[in-house]
Structure 1
Amino acid sequence: MITVHHLENSRSQRVLWLLEELGLEYEVRRYDRDPETMLAPKALYDIHPLGKSPVIVENGITIAETGAIFEYIRDTHGAGALMPDAGTPEARDVTYWLHYAEGSAMNPLLMKLVFTRLPLGAGALLRPLVKGVANKAMDSFVDPRVAEHVDYWEQHLQKTGWFAGNRFSLADIMMSFPLEAAAARAGAADRPAIADFLERIHARPAYQRALEKGGPYAYA
């Protein structure tokens, strides 16, 4: 059986959702974030040297990184589900979005989170200066980059409503977290196609079951 080492309010929620969509049996070992730092607990270092989530373990095999986990589950348990036919443009699109979601998409969103929280860690005297520097970085670089990606998603979703072809696939599960994060932090929910996509995925029964098993998830 697959064991998912799952951190609350994290990208690993997608792994639970994927497993629910495929109807696979699994167990969840939940970890809470530190309430002050919001970092993962040190217990995750016992599972993987980097102490990150998600991590899955099956038959003595430990796999980290969401994209690698998705590919393992697809190849080992997917039986072709949630995947277009091999060799098609849609199948290539799935591969693209699996890599893009954790590569190009998350970088500016993480920078926005870091610069937003940066003043909170500064002392009272330095806080105005740090906040000014952080705001300058966001206004001049981070927010324009985030907007580029949000525009890209909106334009793509306007075509079929999905990320790879005209039906729900692995790509949509993988891309859910960047869109949910951007909806929470960057106003992406104001875009019609993105808002419609989020409403449809949140209504899926498998998504709801994953929430029940995963616990708190601020982006739903």
Structure 2
Amino acid sequence: MPQLPDSGFTRVAFFYDALKKLVYGHALEKAQLALLPLVPQQARVLVIGGGSGWVLDQLLSTGKQLDILYLDAAPAMLQRATQKYTNYQQPHGCRVNFRLGTEQALLPQEQFEVILTPFLLDLFPPLRLHRLMARLSQALAPNGLWLFADFWPIKQPMPWWQKALERAMYTFFGVMSGVKAQRFPKYGRHFQALGFQEIFSEPFYSGMVQAKAFRKTLR
């Protein structure tokens, strides 16, 4: 079977979470947690690129009644997320479906009130990112929320240590996972072109990471 696009994280699945904590501590997790209060009490939620399932556990623990589609292109990551869900012991009101694939695996009629992209969008060069974000925008219901947690340095130009870390990240994941991007994207221009309005923002990791929420405006 040919490898799926964007599926290279299968190679790093068994140590990815440990590596993330070694470099960033709990900053990446805190950025995702900051977004969860914005999820409505009842909503159809798409989590795309959620990896091994940490953020899924956090959604289950909110006590909200959510219909969640968990979509990931890396088979090993999806397997780990599925196993975490199977082992989740606390009662919850969520319905969860798992699907292997990229945004192209979304069905034409599927619509979501919330889309969550946890540290996904930084992986793609501009043209691929534009196509991905345009497809996700189509799947987001009018007035829906796009919850974004990713590397979006506030200070420009970036301090030297952020530049060094950016270079190291893209070199490592380019080799290990086939990541095609070489620098942090200019996310703002993509959200603006798609008609999104920023309604929430909180920085983490000395401003290198941001949690943001965007609302899809009616045109």
How high is the TM-score relative to the length of structure 2? 0.32
Structure with greater strand share of residues: 2
User: Which of the pair is proportionally richer in helix?
Assistant: 1
Normalized against structure 1, the TM-score is what?
0.32
Larger radius of gyration: 1
